[in-house]
Structure 1
Amino acid sequence: QQQQQQQQQQQQQLQQQKQHLSLLLQQHPGGAASSASVGGNGCIGGVVDAGGGIGSGGGISVSSGNSSSIIVGKRTTALFAAYAAPLFGGGTVATIGQPMAAGAGQIGAARSLFTACGASFIQPSSVVASCAGARVKAPVLGRASSTSVATSVSSLYERTQKATVTLQHPCMRGYSSVHTQQPAGPIREYNIDPYILLDDELKYIFEDIRQEISRATNHQELNKIAVYYFDGQGKAFRPMVAMLMAKALNYHMHNENSNIVNAQRQIAMISEMIHTASLVHDDVIDQSFARRGKPSVNVLWNHKKVTQAGDYILSVASMLLARLKHDEVTHILSQVLTDLVQGEFMQLGSKETENERFAHYFTKTYRKTASLIANSLKAVAVLSGADEQMAELSFQYGRNLGLAFQFVDDLLDFVSSSEAMGKPAAADLKLGLATAPVLFACEKFPELNPMILRRFREPGDVERAYELVHQSQGLEQTRFLARKHCIEALRLASQISESPYQKGLIVVGDFVLNRMK
């Protein structure tokens, strides 16, 4: 009984610490120096936003009892220190900004801090000495040290925070929230293949889509163009994720209604049709030559016919959506079409300053890629009877997974061969697009800025930009960004009741990251 009482007291104390710290972080995201006392020895002795917040030498100072402070961060707010530190693997706390003192008491205090934030803490792996005042080395992540990655991600955080204030768009959800602390370490491994798990739901999905497209027209050429990319050669990634979430939530909700499962499978089909229609339109706009290892659709037919075929795929998808007779789901997926058009339009333009470019890039990436996955998952959640909180969880899982998927895609454009990708290497640069690796590379090589503004149109621009990206840490930082979003998706999936499908949602994050290998 005494042990139980002690455990209850510890849990209550931890909950109080968490609530207090969360309130502190919300009330003092930067600005004038602020402090709060949360407990005595063994707890958080003090939390200080050390003046000015982002960009002005501020940081977070933590002390345990009378021990000297640990300095975490040189250019971050308390919020970002708590948010980002657990992401860096070994040497977590040590590697944001300046090296820290590594006394045993300080490490204990840091552990309390991150536990109170709902985050994970990893003992620094390269401690030179354990006495007070010793310094901790930054371990190496690829070719970039954790410190350099931290500095760049801190810079990225500044930009996304600014974008959050100015845009207030769903793509930025989570960046300004205390609830975005991430677990550390590798993505959990399960011996599950989502495609095998969903074989019954997925094996006929392309055939069913082709039947729906063919059923709605008697025009043979229109039908031939429209079904061209539904030949079964695609990964069916979006239908797979939609059905995983549907099955996971149905298990979570104890819902075995076959009509609901059929409706959710319709959402999976609709998501693949919307995605494919966007590929058809992209091929026209970009004047592509190849996709999925074969000639792109606009090479085989003229642009006018191909454009109409893309519109036709969307119209058939809209008919399937109307058959569901569910107003909320119709509204959710209609937002996807709005986002797709706006995202494509944004891709045709650029911004002059670095801050504007990152905001522009993130918003465009959400609208063109992540919105479809996020809203499809929200739609299957609504059909399962999930409450607003679970529907939002599904949305956020899809948003993070979709962003990570696109970041990896942007990375592969620089590291994969045209044979492996099924499309030309450096395709984005040739289209005048500055993706994450280029934007990160700008921090080391400012000469990229005028190239971005002229969309790499001058002779030698593409080759030089490609070279500078590989000389910078842009690829490592993009990998880090993708991993961060996959880990957040894992954290969200972990809140769903355990089942083979819930485990599949976790495995999908690993699938997305493994595309980088």
Structure 2
Amino acid sequence: MKSIQTELKQLNKNLHKMIAAENPILYSAAEKLFSAGGKRIRPTIIFLISKLMNKGQIISTEHKRLAEITEIIHTASLVHDDIIDNCDKRRGIETVHNVFNNKIAVLAGDFLFAQSSWYLANLNNLDVVKNISKIITDFAEGEVRQGMISFDCQISIEEYIEKSFYKTASLLACSCKATIILNKNNKNTQNDFYLYGKHLGLAFQIIDDILDLTGLSKDLGKPAGSDLINGNLTAPLIFTLNKNPKLQKMIDKEFQFKENIDEAVNIIKNTNAIQKAKDIAEEHIQLAMHIIKSKYTNTNSKELLLMTYHLINRIN
């Protein structure tokens, strides 16, 4: 997005400053993640909403800081995710626990959560603090739920969507709402953008889960099929389960061999499960776009709508 390139560049610089730590190992572990880059989806959405809701298209200092805070929270969650899922790579580089060890990685994640909380408190807005704090609780809830249904063939689409909300959509929903709170808009507008972020987040997670099966490892920045290896049963697999008893047997044996993963991916690809999952993501994208189109269309809304629709087009 050309209109916010300056803000995104400054965000990247500020992130490095915000994770300053006296302990060099702790700093190195945290800094490694930000050096790897990332899509910066969450800050981009915050910047675009800020522009949409301000007549002068001004992105305030508070909104810039909120964008930085949400990116730190997101990054902290990735550190802990990688330990739980035992991922070797993230964004194409070795994960923190692989370079250091699990103990350092846990502490690095905790440090990032602590730093985000400190900067959050310094926004001096109690409603925003309450709103963003819920995200960290939801992350933990999501991880516990995912752990409880690992390799569980009885998982329903509804349970999958609920888990996806806690793990991904909550961050976007709450950060979109916080953007509006900082803008001093009313409760109805806050709720609109909460729902916008929720639908966007759910679509994003479903698309990510599809890409885990259809993408190449070099493009994903991590091994393809990681979800299957870790027992995270996602929408395409859930839609395939009832049609293929062999797949259920492989899940019951927790994909003992790499060949099982490859075979499972091929089974899924030979059904309409990926298209069905994409249809659900498309539905959530349309719901998100409807909120903007029905109430908030102006000259500044085009980029936000383009960004929203871009997420569904990540799949070829």
Q: Which among 488, 495, 498 is matched to residue 297 of structure 2?
A: 498
Q: What does residue 96 of structure 2 align with?
A: 297
CA distance in 1, matches of 2:135, 2:283: 24
CA distance in 2, matches of 1:267, 1:450: 46
Matches within 5 A, 1:457-472: 457=256, 460-472=259-271
More helix by share: 2
1:206 aligns with 2:12: yes
Q: Any unmatched runs of 5+ in structure 1?
A: 1-194
1:250 aligns with 2:54: yes
Q: What does residue 390 of structure 1 align with?
A: 189
What SS class does the counterpart of residue 348 from structure 1 fall into? helix
Cα deviations by residue, 1:309-329 (Å, 9 ceiling, x for unpaired): 110011000001000111111
CA distance in 1, matches of 2:27, 2:153: 45
Q: What does residue 222 of structure 2 align with?
A: 423
1:422 deviates by 1.2
1:358 deviates by 2.0
Q: Aligned AA for 1:206?
A: N
What SS class does the counterpart of residue 34 from structure 2 fall into? coil
Q: What does residue 478 of structure 1 align with?
A: 277
Contact 1:255 1:384 in 2 (8 A): no
1:447 deviates by 3.7
Q: Which among 229, 235, 244 is matched to residue 33 of structure 2?
A: 229
Q: What is the percent sequence identity of the aligned residues?
A: 31
CA distance in 2, matches of 1:307, 1:232: 18
Structure label with greater radius of gyration: 1
Q: Aligned AA for 1:367?
A: Y
Mark the CA change 1:492 to 1:455 in structure 2 (over 3 Å): closer, same or farther. Answer: farther
Q: What does residue 327 of structure 1 align with?
A: 126
CA distance in 2, matches of 1:444, 1:467: 14
Q: What does residue 401 of structure 1 align with?
A: 200
Matches within 5 A, 1:86-125: none
Contact 1:350 1:360 in 2 (8 A): no
1:232 deviates by 6.0
Structure having greater relative contact order (Cα 8 Å, sep ≥ 6): 2
1:457 deviates by 4.1
Q: What does residue 22 of structure 2 align with?
A: 218
1:306 deviates by 1.1
1:488 deviates by 1.2
Q: What does residue 172 of structure 2 align with?
A: 373
Q: Which among 165, 190, 212 is matched to residue 413 of structure 1?
A: 212
Q: Aligned AA for 1:264?
A: H
**TM-score, scaled to structure 2:** 0.93
1:344 deviates by 1.1
Matches within 5 A, 1:264-303: 264-303=63-102
Q: Aligned AA for 1:243?
A: F
Contact 1:205 1:269 in 2 (8 A): yes
1:448 deviates by 3.0
Greater Cα shift, 442-451 or 397-406: 442-451
CA distance in 1, matches of 2:13, 2:258: 45
CA distance in 2, matches of 1:295, 1:353: 31
Cα deviations by residue, 1:343-387 (Å, 9 ceiling, x for unpaired): 111111218574x53222111101101100010000011111111
CA distance in 2, matches of 1:406, 1:499: 28
Mark the CA change 1:498 to 1:516 in structure 2 (over 3 Å): closer, same or farther. Answer: same
Q: Aligned AA for 1:400?
A: H
Contact 1:244 1:505 in 2 (8 A): yes
1:501 deviates by 3.5
CA distance in 1, matches of 2:295, 2:54: 10
Q: Aligned AA for 2:186?
A: D
Cα deviations by residue, 1:463-505 (Å, 9 ceiling, x for unpaired): 3322210111111111111111111111111134434531111
Contact 2:92 2:222 in 1 (8 A): yes
1:452 deviates by 3.7
